[in-house]
Amino acid sequence: MFTETSKCPSCGNATFRAVLQQPDNSNYQLQFVQCAECDAVIGVLEYLNLGATLHDQTQIIKEHGSKLDRLEVALRQTNHLLGKLLSSRGAHVS
CB of 30 to Zn ion, least distance (A): 19
Applying CB under 5 A, does 30 fall inside the site for Zn ion?
no
Contact between 43 and 34 (Cβ < 8 Å): no
Binding test (CB under 5 A) with Zn ion, winner from 18, 38, 60, 91: 38
Q: Amino acid identity of 88? A: S
- Among the listed ranges 15-23, 36-44, 65-73, 76-84, the one in contact with Zn ion (CB under 5 A) is 36-44
**Which residue intervals of 1-94 are DSSP H helices?**
50-88
Beta bridge partners of 18: 33
Q: Which is nearer to Zn ion, 13 or 31 (CB)?
A: 13
